[in-house]
Structure 1
Amino acid sequence: MPDTNETTVVTASREVDADAATIFELIADPSRQPEWDGNDNLEQADPGQRVRAVGDVFTMILTKDLAVRQNHVVAFEEGRLIAWRPSEVGKPQPGHEWRWQLEPLDDGRTLVTHTYDWTDLIDEKRMVRARNTTEANLRASLDRLATAATATG
């Protein structure tokens, strides 16, 4: 478990010049995620895994050692919210969560908030990486996502 004095929730936000539906499609389709992942952690995901509800599970192949991760969707609202908790295939979720929230602003602009929450992380092997996931990492994903969304929209 994290030290009780540690900050275990990291968040970054930015406005994107694209509508929420366009941005959400890039996030909810795992095969598109490696294009904009600012952590350079995602190698690939098979097409056809578009997330549609809480309880969905999608798989990703990581760049480091090409390990496969299952991502368990724990929050979902079409066009507005998606969150998942990764785990090794067939193993319990170690307790960290990636969350995306989209708030339409006006005329094709959206406020996008990306959060990494490792408050419940119990896997000691993942603590170093969790501690090294900073707002700058999240911002890199937001910036790449914005670029992809404006090119798409």
Structure 2
Amino acid sequence: MTHNETHVTVTRTMDVPAKELFSVLTLPARHHEFDGSGTVRNSDDTERITKTGEKFVMNMHRDAMGGDYRTHNFVTAYDENKMVGWKPAPEAEDGTAPTEPLGWEWLYELKSQGNDSTEVTLTYDWSDVTDEKLLKQVGFPAIPEEDLEESLNLLAAAATKD
């Protein structure tokens, strides 16, 4: 685990093949199953993530964000069975979709440790957030390290329940 001024990273080895973990991570409809923060409710999108540049929409809830809200997530990293990441941006109050992310990223890296084991690294990185007002408003890290650890626990459970 690492934690500095601009990111938090947690790592865990799971007794699950990388392919199965990647399958869960790339299906937005399953993201609520491994959200350790409890903010993800469900996804508007049922299509699997297949490449960088795609976008998927999530329905969220967080009291600090005013309750229910939606995020548009821009896929920033994709390497089959090895890596997937996205940068979110909340939808405007009038329902207008954002045209670009606001700078923080969720990145999952998978390193196979053999046929049935994978080292999973989750990084929550806000180093691209340059808007001082946003930095102060959100109070990064908005999601604590314990929630990231829980996300990895829940990911292992989600991948083994199939």
Calculate the TM-score normalised by the size of structure 2: 0.83
Q: 1:9 to 1:124 in 2, by over 3 A?
A: closer
**Per-residue CA distance 1:84-133 (angstroms, 9 max, x = gap):** 110123223211000000011013100000000011222246532x2242
- Aligned twin of 2:42: 44
- Aligned twin of 2:29: 31
Question: Which of 71, 75, 78 is the aligned partner of 2:77?
Answer: 75
Q: Higher relative CO (CA 8 A, sep ≥ 6), structure 1 or 2?
A: 1
How many residues were matched structurally?
146
- Aligned twin of 2:16: 18
Amino acid at match of 1:70: H
- Aligned twin of 2:94: none
Question: Which of 66, 69, 94 is the aligned partner of 2:68?
Answer: 66
Q: 1:42 to 1:125 in 2, by over 3 A?
A: farther
Is 2:162 the counterpart of 1:127?
no
Q: 1:107 to 1:124 in 2, by over 3 A?
A: closer
Tell me, which stretches of 5 or more residues in structure 1 are unaligned? Answer: 1-5
Distance of 2:58 and 2:127 partners within structure 1: 23
Calculate the TM-score normalised by the size of structure 1: 0.88
Higher mean C-alpha displacement, 16-25 vs 44-53: 44-53
Moved over 4 A (4+): none
Question: Which of 50, 54, 57 is the aligned partner of 1:56?
Answer: 54
Distance of 1:125 and 1:67 partners within structure 2: 20
Higher mean C-alpha displacement, 44-53 vs 12-21: 44-53
Q: 1:73 to 1:47 in 2, by over 3 A?
A: closer
Distance of 2:156 and 2:85 partners within structure 1: 19
Is 2:78 the counterpart of 1:107?
no
Tell me, which stretches of 5 or more residues in structure 2 are unaligned? Answer: 92-96
Distance of 1:95 and 1:150 partners within structure 2: 32
Distance of 1:83 and 1:70 partners within structure 2: 13
Q: 1:133 to 1:48 in 2, by over 3 A?
A: closer
- Aligned twin of 1:85: 87
